[in-house]
Structure 1
Amino acid sequence: MGWYRSPGFRGLAIAASDGIIGTAGVLQGFAGAGASSSTLLVASISALVAGSAAGFGSKYAELAADRDAERAVIADEERDLHEDSSDELAELTAHFEERGVERDLARATAEQMFAHDALAAQLETEHGITARTGAAGPYLGALATALAFAVGSALPLAILLAYPAAWETWAVFIAVLISLAITSVLIAISARTSVPRALARTLTLGAATMALSYLAGVLVF
């Protein structure tokens, strides 16, 4: 809706993928260093909490900036309408003419829209703003992103709790790849892009992240 961009399904799926990859990478790094099961548990919980908090903060800052920009645009349009509404009416008429509407019809349409709600007409046609962002919007969007990250992070944690120590590294690796495959397919479908390409990109990134993290842990210790 104009300046404001809520996370949406695709954004939440990406946040979940980030949670999966981020936490799995931390676990593989500690596993490569020979960490105990208790250390791996603490590391995975810390990654979940820290990643979710960071996701909330970054998404809130983004959405709040969008809301502030939207409010600035609305204030400018309100001021312009108050100072000289005839100029704004002319702009709206020109907007319709540029899209192929005959001049008289464009003028009549603009006048009807102005009579109904001049500000709403200007915001929608000039800036694509169809509804104002509420004060809670950025908080809700940020919370949804944080929860999606936490859900993704919870998968490696669940695998860690479910399997014995001798199988943790491989169990997490396989489970993460399966989970990433699911989220990448959902992202591709929602974005109407190539599923095979999305799978290749996401699985390659996930596998590389875990492999490099594991190698880093081995080299450090």
Structure 2
Amino acid sequence: MAANDGIIGTAGVLQGFAGAGASSTTLLVASVSAMVAGAVAGFGSKYAELAAERDAQQALIADEASDLASDDADELADLAEHFEERGVPGPLAEEVASEMHRHEPLAAHLETEHGITEPMRALQPLAGGAMNALALASGSALPLLILLAYPAAWESWAVFVAVLVSLAVTSMLVAVSARTSVPRALTRTIGIGAATMLLSYLAGVLIF
């Protein structure tokens, strides 16, 4: 999906400049600038998102650890009550809670009450940001390659067609891997891509 964003974003910028009658050199500069800016922004947004999620996890972990240290019995009762609320009979809920509490009390509370099975590691926000930036840059590189490969008279159309084909391929891969509807994924992604390029081109024409 990040690659799709890179494809659409850079293609939109190129179509806007093409609509304004920009030269090949200007289109090249615009394409590289869009790729770099998109990758940096993609890194920053993903890093901030994951870092905030990790901060929230760490706060929950600290709260649970503090609660266990201050009142272990009350936390055990809360764990048993959690299972009872989900339909487990009282005696069995207490037995399960007691067994989980005996082995790894903090992990048991984090997973059962907050859905945290594995706390996010310190480097995960950086790794996630880097992967998102790489995906965006990879997507942005396609319009750039088309720009370098085709004569100036065909650049706008070549980018338009190549972008739609690329979006179709990536959308199918995403839909198949997620086991969702391929036709719906194609319709959404190709529609957004085509609309972005057409509106960007129109904006360039009107401004010029």
Aligned to 1:91: 78
**Are 1:135 and 2:125 an aligned pair?**
no
Moved more, 76-85 or 190-199: 190-199
Aligned to 2:134: 147
**Are 1:162 and 2:130 an aligned pair?**
no
Instruction: Pick one of 79, 88, 113 that aligns with 2:66.
Output: 79
Aligned to 1:204: 191
Aligned AA (1:15) = A
**Are 1:188 and 2:175 an aligned pair?**
yes
Instruction: Pick one of 46, 49, 54 that aligns with 2:33.
Output: 46
Aligned to 2:92: 105
Give the Cα–Cα distance (whole angstroms) in 2 for the partners of residues 189 and 99 of structure 1. 34
Aligned to 2:15: 28
Q: Deviation at 1:191?
A: 3.1
Instruction: Pick one of 2, 11, 18 that aligns with 2:5.
Output: 18
Deviations 1:176-195 (A, max 9, x none): 00011112122222333221
**Identity across aligned pairs (percent)?**
71
Q: Deviation at 1:65?
A: 0.5
Number of equivalences: 208
Give the Cα–Cα distance (whole angstroms) in 2 for the partners of residues 48 and 181 of structure 1. 20
Aligned to 1:3: none
Aligned AA (1:156) = P
Q: Deviation at 1:73?
A: 0.4
Deviations 1:14-71 (A, max 9, x none): 1111100000001111111111111111100000000110111111111111000000
Deviations 1:159-204 (A, max 9, x none): 1111111111111000000011112122222333221111111111
Q: Secondary structure at the match of 1:129?
A: coil
Q: Which runs of 5 or more structure 1 residues have no equivalent in the other structure?
A: 1-13
Q: CA RMSD in A?
A: 1.0
TM-score by length of 1: 0.91
Aligned to 1:5: none
Aligned AA (1:89) = L
Give the Cα–Cα distance (whole angstroms) in 1 for the partners of residues 168 and 207 of structure 2. 30
Moved more, 184-193 or 64-73: 184-193
**Are 1:120 and 2:107 an aligned pair?**
yes
Aligned to 1:213: 200
Moved more, 80-89 or 96-105: 96-105
Q: Which runs of 5 or more structure 2 residues have no equivalent in the other structure?
A: none
